[in-house]
C-alpha cells in the first residue's frame, strides 16, 4: 500500500474511532487496556495482552497511566469512554465502584482453579470485589544493602525501629499507608489485630508514637524507584520498598540487596472495567482470560508479584528472562508469609482522608 | 444622511477588529473560565445526598440533633437507602457522608443492605441491625450535614476549621490542622525561591543583555537547555549531586573541607527543595529581565557617571529603576509557578516536601473529594489575588512587562 493510501486508511480509522464505532471489517473487535508503564506494563504485555490477541484476534491498544481515578472519572462524566480494562489499585477500584465509574463484575465470570476448586475458594479472600477481579499481590517489605551491616544484620520488623543496634537513616514512603501498620506490628500488635487497634484513637496514637521514635532518621521517598537507588547510594541503611523493585535490582543490576520479609504488608491489584464502555463483552472476555491460573502464573514469571489465586502459585517456576527460581521472591510463598499482613483497603478507603491529614500535620510539625 | 456614512466604516472596522479576538475570547471562556467556574462551584454545591434522601432530610430539619430521631425518620431513611442501593448510589452516598465523619461509608452501605435484604419489625431495628452506629445521633448529624445542598464546610475544612455539634465554628483539633500551616509554608518557600531566582538571575540577565550578539545567543541557550530538559531528569540530577554520598559531598570530603562522617545533609530537606526549585524556575526570571535590560541603552549609565554618580549610585538610581518592570514580571511569574509546584519538592524535600498543591492533588486523584480540592484551589486563588493587589499598590501593575 502506498504511503498516501496508508495515510488515508489511518485517517478513516481515526474517524471511525472518533465516531465511537469499533472498526468494522468483521474482525474480532478491539480493546484499550491501561497499565502502569515500565516493568509492570512489559510483564502484562508479554504474559496476557499478546496471548489474548493471539487466541482471539482482538487488537489491544496499550496505554499507560499513573493510578488514580481522575482520567476514568472524566471519561465517564463526559460520556466519552475510550479506556476499557484498567489495572487498578484496590483502593481506586473500591472508590471507583462506589462512584459508579466501574462496571459490576458478573458472578459467573471466573473459571475454576487449577486444582478444580471453586473461584471463591481459590482466590485469596477479599480479592474479588463488586467491580474488581484480583490480579497480583505486591508487597511492601524492608530491604538493605549487606555492606552497611558488616556485623549483626537486621532480620525483623522490630530491627527497623531499633536505632541502637542498627543506627543510620531509614527510607519510608511519605504516606500513612503501610507505615502505620508497620509501626503497630513493630510495637507488638499481631497482624490480625492491626486494624482493630487502628480503629481506636488510642491505637492511632500508639502508631504515631512508634513512628516518633525514628522520625528524625527517616528519609521520605515518593516514587517506587527511589528506595533501591537510596540503598545503593548509602543514603539510607534500611528502607521500606516494593518487593518487585528490589527483585529487579537484584536480578537486573546484580545488587546484593537483602529483603526482610518479616512483617511485610501485602496489597493486591485488580482488573476493573470502565463504566459505559462500548466494548464490554470483549473486556469481560479479557478479564476472564487474564484471571485463569495459567495466565496469572505467566505474569509471575515476568515480575516478582504473586498470583492472587492459590492454585496458580505452584504453576510459577522460573523468571523467564534470567531463569532464577521465583518461589523465594514471591510475597505469598509460604516461607515469606511467617508474619505478614494483607492491607485492609476497605478500612483505608474510609479513613485515608482523615489519617492523611493527621499524617501530614505530624510530618509538618 | 452623511453622518452615518462617516461613522459607518470605522464602526464596522472596529467590529471586524473585535471579531478577530472572538476565537480567543471563546477559547478562554471554554478552556479557562468555564472549567474554573464549574470547579469552584463544586466547592460550595453538592446536591448528591440532598437528591437521594429528600424525605429523610426534610424530617431531620425538625430534629433536635441530640436524641435519636423517631421511627418516621428511620422509615424514610430505610426506604430511600433501599432505592439508592438499587440505583447503585449507596456507595456514593456513603462516600459523601464519610467525608463529614470517617467510618460512615460502611455504616450507610450496611444500613442500605439491611433495608433491602433483612427488614425487621421496625425500620429502626432494621438499620441498627445493619450497623449499630445507626443508634448513635452522631450518624444522623453527619447525614444532615452531608445533605446540605449548598455548603461552606469545604472552605471551613480548608482553613482548618470545623463546626461542632451545636453548629458553631471551632478550630480543628491540633493534630488535624494542616492546610493553613501548609499554605504558609508554600508561600514562604515560593517567596524564598523568588528571591533566590532574582539574586541569581539578575547578573546572568545583565551579562547576556550586554554581551556581543554571538555570545549572547550561546548564553541564552545555556539558560534554555535546562528549561528544555525533563523535570524528572533535572530533579534526579540534583539527587545525584547533593545526596550524602553524592558528587558535592564526596568532593568536599576529598578536599578535606568536611570529615567523612560529617557529610552535609543537602537533600531530602528544605535545602534540597530550594535548590531544585530555584534551578527549575530560573529561566522564568532571566528571560523577562533580559528582554527589559536589552532595551536599556548602555549610554544611560555612562551619562550617569559623567554627571558625577559613582557606580553604586548610577546602578541604584538609573539602572535598577529601569529594570523594575522585568524584575516585577519575573518575580510574579516565578512566585506563581512556585506556588503550584509539588513534584520536585515531593521528590527532594523529605519531610518538608509536602506543599499545599500536594493536598490538592491528593484530593483530586486519591480521595476524589473534588469539593475540598476546589475549596483549597479557591483559597490559593484568593491568596495569590491578595498578593497581586498588594503588589499593585507597591509597584503598580501597569509597570509589568513580560518581555
ipTM of the complex: 0.82
Mean pLDDT across B118-126: 92
Q: Do domains A26-137+268-324 and A139-266+338-364 have the same CATH topology?
A: yes
Q: A360, B359: Cβ pair inside 8 Å?
A: yes
- Whether A99 has its CB under 8 Å from any CB of chain B: the answer is yes
Q: Are residues B236 and B295 in the same domain?
A: yes
Q: CA-to-CA distance for B214 and A109, rounded, in angstroms?
A: 69
pLDDT at B399: 60
Mean pLDDT of B299-311: 89
Question: Which of A234, A233, A238 shows the shortest CA–CA distance to A218?
Answer: A238
| Same domain membership, residue B287 and residue B191 | yes
DSSP string, A206-226: HHHHHHHTTGGGEEEE-STTH
**Min CA distance, A220 vs chain B (Å)?**
5
CATH (domain of B350): 1.10.3720.10
Rounded to a whole number of angstroms, the distance between the first and last alpha carbons of chain A is 66
pLDDT digits (tens, 9 = 90+) for B353-382: 889 998 998 888 878 888 999 999 999 989
Residue B400, pLDDT > 80, answer: no
- Is A235 within 8 Å of B245 when comparing Cβ atoms? yes
Contacts of A211 (CB under 8 A, 6+ apart): A179, A180, A183, A362
B92 with A223: Cβ contact below 8 A: no
d(CA B223, CA B101): 50
β-pairing, A170-173 vs A238-242, is parallel
Give percent above pLDDT 70 in chain B.
96
Place of cell 508479584: A305
A220 touches chain B (CB under 8 A): yes
Q: What is the pLDDT of residue A14?
A: 44
What is the per-residue pLDDT for B242? 92
Helical residues (DSSP H) of A143-200, grouped into ranges? 157-160, 179-186, 194-198
pLDDT higher than 90, residue B231: no
Mean of all residue pLDDT scores within chain B: 89
- Per-residue pLDDT tens over the stretch A13-56: 444 444 444 444 446 789 999 998 888 899 999 999 999 999 99
**Domain identity same for B245 and B393:** yes
Pair B248, B308 in one domain: yes
DSSP codes joined into one string, B328-362:
HHHHHHHHHHHHT--HHHHHH-GGG---HHHHHHI
Q: What is the dihedral of CA A36, A42, A47, A53, to 10 degrees?
A: 90
Binary contact (A350, B102; C-beta < 8 A): yes
Count other Cβ atoms within 10 Å, centred on residue B228.
8
The x, y and z cell numbers of residue B229, run together, are 530538559
Residues of chain A above pLDDT 90, percent = 81
Determine the 3-state secondary structure of A101 from DSSP.
coil
Query: May I ask the CATH architecture of the domain A139-266+338-364?
Result: 3-Layer(aba) Sandwich (3.40)
**Do B150 and B44 touch, CB atoms closer than 8 A?**
yes
Question: Would you say residue B352 lies in a domain?
Answer: yes
Share of chain B above pLDDT 90, in %: 51
pLDDT at A196 over 50: yes
Rounded to whole angstroms, the Cα distance separating B388 from B397 reads 8
A-chain residues near B94 (CB < 8 A): 98
Percent of chain A, pLDDT > 70? Answer: 93
Most confident of A176-190, A213-227, B273-287: A176-190
Nearest CA in chain B to A348: B103
User: DSSP character for A128?
Assistant: B
Of the CA atoms within 13 Å of residue B168, those in its CB half-sphere come to 2
Q: Which residues form the domain of B66?
A: 48-151
Are both B83 and B119 inside the same structural domain? yes
List CB contacts (< 8 A) between A356 and chain B: 362, 367
* Whether B295 contacts chain A with CB within 8 A: no
Per-residue pLDDT of A294-319, as tens digits, reads 999 999 999 999 999 999 999 999 99
Residue B47 has pLDDT above 50, yes or no: yes
The cell for B331 is: 518575580
Rounded-to-5 percentages of helix, strand, coil across chain B: 75, 0, 25
Q: For B69, which DSSP code?
A: P
- Residue B8: its pLDDT value, please? 54
Residue labelled with grid coordinates 482470560: A289
E strand residue ranges, B172-328:
none
First to last CA, chain B: 48
Residue B160 to residues A159, A349, B146, B189: CA-CA distances in angstroms? Answer: 37, 22, 18, 21
Q: Does A334 or B86 have the greater pLDDT score?
A: A334
Q: Which of B92, B175, B243 lies nearest to residue A361, judging by beta carbons?
A: B175
CA distance B375 to B158: 7
Q: Do A354 and B104 touch (CB under 8 A)?
A: no
Confidence (pLDDT) at A15: 42
Residue of A218, A208, A178, A362 lying closest to B268 (CA atoms): A218
**Chain B residues with CB inside 8 Å of A220's CB?**
268, 350-351, 353
Counts of helices then strands in chain A (DSSP H, E):
15, 10
pLDDT (0 to 100) of residue A3: 42
Together in a domain, B136 and B263 = no
Residue keyed to cell 534551578: B279
In the predicted model, what is the mean pLDDT of residues B183-198?
95
Q: What is the DSSP letter of A302?
A: T
CB B48 within 8 A of CB B370: no
Which residues in A lie closer than 8 A to residue B244 (C-beta atoms)? 233-235
Q: What is the per-residue DSSP string for B240-255?
A: HHHSTTSHHHHHHHHT
CA A222 to chain centre: 16
Partners of A63 in the beta sheet? A34
Contact (Cβ atoms closer than 8 angstroms) between residue B364 and residue B373:
yes
Instruction: Tell me whether A77 touches chain B (CB under 8 Å).
Output: no
- B177 Cα to chain A: minimum distance (Å): 6
Question: In this structure, are B349 and B211 located in the same domain?
Answer: yes
Q: How confident is the model at residue B176 (pLDDT cuts 50, 70, 90)?
A: confident
Cell of residue B221, nine digits: 541557550
Task: Look up cell 537513616; give the residue.
Answer: A169
Residue B10 belongs to some domain of the structure: no
Distance from CA of A200 to the nearest CA of B (A): 12
pLDDT band at B53 (very low <50, low <70, confident <90, very high): very high
**Please, are residues B359 and B189 in contact by the beta-carbon 8 Å criterion?**
no
Give yes or no for B364 touching A (CB within 8 A): yes
Strand, coil or helix: A263: strand
Nearest to B176 among A68, A104, A357 (CB): A357
Tell me the average pLDDT across B210-234.
88
With the CA atoms of A44, A50, A51 and A56 taken in that order, what torsion angle do they form, in degrees rounded to the nearest 10? 130
Q: Quote the DSSP letter at residue A318.
A: B
> Per CATH, is A26-137+268-324 categorized as 3.40.50.720?
no
Query: Where are the domains positioned within chain A?
Result: 26-137+268-324, 139-266+338-364
Least confident of B196-205, B246-255, B285-294, B301-310: B301-310
The number of folded domains in chain B is 2
Please check whether residues B184 and B321 belong to one and the same domain: yes
Q: Is B256 contained in some domain?
A: yes
Amino acid at each position: 500500500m502506498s504511503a498516501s493510501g496508508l495515510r488515508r486508511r489511518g485517517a478513516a480509522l481515526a474517524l471511525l474511532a472518533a465516531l465511537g464505532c469499533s472498526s468494522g471489517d468483521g474482525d474480532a473487535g478491539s480493546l484499550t487496556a491501561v497499565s502502569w508503564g515500565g516493568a509492570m506494563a512489559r510483564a502484562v504485555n508479554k504474559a496476557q495482552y499478546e496471548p489474548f490477541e493471539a487466541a482471539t484476534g482482538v487488537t489491544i491498544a496499550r496505554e499507560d497511566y499513573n493510578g488514580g481515578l481522575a482520567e476514568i472519572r472524566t471519561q465517564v462524566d463526559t460520556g466519552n469512554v475510550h479506556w476499557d480494562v484498567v489495572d487498578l489499585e484496590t483502593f481506586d477500584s473500591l472508590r471507583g465502584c462506589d462512584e459508579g465509574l466501574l462496571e459490576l463484575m458478573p458472578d459467573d465470570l471466573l473459571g475454576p482453579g487449577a486444582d478444580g476448586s471453586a473461584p471463591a475458594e481459590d482466590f485469596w479472600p477479599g480479592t474479588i470485589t463488586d467491580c474488581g477481579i484480583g490480579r497480583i499481590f505486591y508487597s511492601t517489605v524492608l530491604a538493605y544493602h549487606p555492606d552497611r551491616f558488616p556485623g549483626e544484620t537486621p532480620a525483623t520488623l522490630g530491627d527497623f525501629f531499633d536505632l541502637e543496634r542498627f543506627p543510620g537513616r531509614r527510607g519510608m514512603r511519605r504516606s500513612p499507608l503501610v507505615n502505620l501498620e508497620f509501626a503497630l506490628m513493630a510495637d507488638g500488635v499481631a497482624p490480625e489485630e492491626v486494624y482493630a487497634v487502628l480503629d481506636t484513637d488510642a491505637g492511632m496514637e500508639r502508631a504515631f508514637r512508634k513512628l516518633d521514635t525514628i522520625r528524625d532518621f527517616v528519609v521520605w521517598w515518593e516514587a517506587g524507584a527511589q528506595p533501591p537507588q537510596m540503598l545503593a547510594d548509602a543514603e539510607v541503611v534500611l528502607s521500606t520498598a516494593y518487593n518487585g523493585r528490589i527483585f529487579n535490582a537484584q536480578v537486573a543490576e546484580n545488587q546484593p540487596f537483602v529483603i526482610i520479609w518479616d512483617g511485610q504488608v501485602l496489597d493486591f491489584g485488580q482488573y476493573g472495567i470502565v463504566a459505559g464502555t462500548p466494548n464490554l463483552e470483549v473486556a469481560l472476555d479479557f478479564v476472564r482470560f487474564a484471571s485463569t491460573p495459567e495466565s496469572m502464573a505467566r505474569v509471575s514469571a515476568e515480575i516478582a508479584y504473586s498470583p492472587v489465586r492459590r492454585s496458580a502459585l505452584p504453576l510459577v517456576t522460573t523468571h523467564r528472562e534470567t531463569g532464577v527460581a521465583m518461589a523465594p521472591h514471591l510475597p505469598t510463598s509460604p516461607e515469606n508469609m511467617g508474619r505478614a499482613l494483607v492491607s485492609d483497603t476497605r478500612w483505608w478507603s474510609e479513613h485515608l482522608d482523615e489519617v492523611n491529614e493527621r499524617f501530614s500535620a505530624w510530618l509538618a510539625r | 444622511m452623511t453622518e452615518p456614512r462617516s461613522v459607518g466604516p470605522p464602526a464596522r472596522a472596529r467590529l471586524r477588529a473585535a471579531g478577530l479576538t472572538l476565537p480567543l475570547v471563546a477559547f478562554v471562556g471554554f478552556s479557562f473560565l468555564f472549567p474554573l467556574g464549574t470547579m469552584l462551584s463544586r466547592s460550595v454545591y453538592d446536591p448528591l445526598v440532598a437528591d437521594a434522601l429528600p424525605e429523610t432530610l426534610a424530617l431531620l430539619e425538625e430534629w433536635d440533633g441530640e436524641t435519636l430521631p423517631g421511627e418516621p425518620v428511620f422509615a424514610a431513611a430505610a426506604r430511600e437507602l433501599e432505592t439508592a442501593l438499587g440505583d447503585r448510589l449507596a456507595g456514593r452516598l456513603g462516600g459523601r457522608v464519610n467525608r463529614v465523619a470517617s467510618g460512615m461509608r460502611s455504616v450507610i452501605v450496611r444500613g442500605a443492605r439491611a433495608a433491602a435484604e433483612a427488614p425487621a419489625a421496625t425500620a429502626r431495628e432494621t438499620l441498627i441491625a445493619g450497623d449499630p452506629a445507626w443508634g448513635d445521633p452522631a450518624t444522623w448529624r453527619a447525614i444532615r450535614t452531608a445533605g446540605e445542598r449548598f455548603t461552606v464546610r469545604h472552605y471551613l475544612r480548608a482553613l482548618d476549621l470545623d463546626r461542632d455539634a451545636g453548629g458553631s465554628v471551632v478550630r480543628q483539633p491540633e493534630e488535624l490542622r494542616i492546610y493553613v500551616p501548609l499554605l504558609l509554608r508554600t508561600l514562604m518557600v515560593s517567596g524564598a525561591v523568588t528571591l533566590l531566582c532574582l539574586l541569581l538571575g539578575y547578573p546572568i540577565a545583565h551579562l547576556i543583555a550586554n554581551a556581543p550578539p554571538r555570545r549572547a545567543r550561546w548564553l541564552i541557550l545555556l539558560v534554555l537547555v535546562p528549561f528544555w530538559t525533563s523535570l524528572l531528569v533535572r530533579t534526579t540530577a540534583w539527587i545525584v549531586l547533593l545526596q550524602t554520598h553524592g558528587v558535592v559531598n564526596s568532593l568536599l570530603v576529598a578536599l578535606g573541607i568536611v570529615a567523612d562522617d560529617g557529610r552535609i545533609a543537602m537533600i531530602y530537606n528544605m535545602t534540597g527543595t530550594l535548590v531544585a526549585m530555584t534551578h527549575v524556575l530560573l529561566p522564568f526570571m532571566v528571560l523577562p529581565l533580559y528582554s527589559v535590560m536589552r532595551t536599556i541603552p548602555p549610554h544611560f549609565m555612562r551619562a550617569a557617571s559623567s554627571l558625577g554618580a559613582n557606580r553604586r549610585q548610577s546602578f541604584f538610581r538609573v539602572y535598577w529603576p529601569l529594570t523594575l518592570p522585568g524584575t516585577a514580571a519575573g518575580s510574579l511569574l516565578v512566585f506563581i509557578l512556585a506556588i503550584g509546584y509539588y513534584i520536585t519538592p515531593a521528590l527532594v524535600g523529605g519531610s518538608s516536601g509536602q506543599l499545599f498543591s500536594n493536598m490538592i492533588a491528593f484530593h483530586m486523584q486519591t480521595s476524589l473529594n473534588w469539593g475540598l480540592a476546589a475549596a483549597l484551589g479557591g483559597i490559593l486563588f484568593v491568596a495569590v489575588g491578595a498578593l497581586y493587589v498588594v503588589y499593585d499598590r507597591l509597584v503598580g501593575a501597569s509597570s509589568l512587562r513580560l518581555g
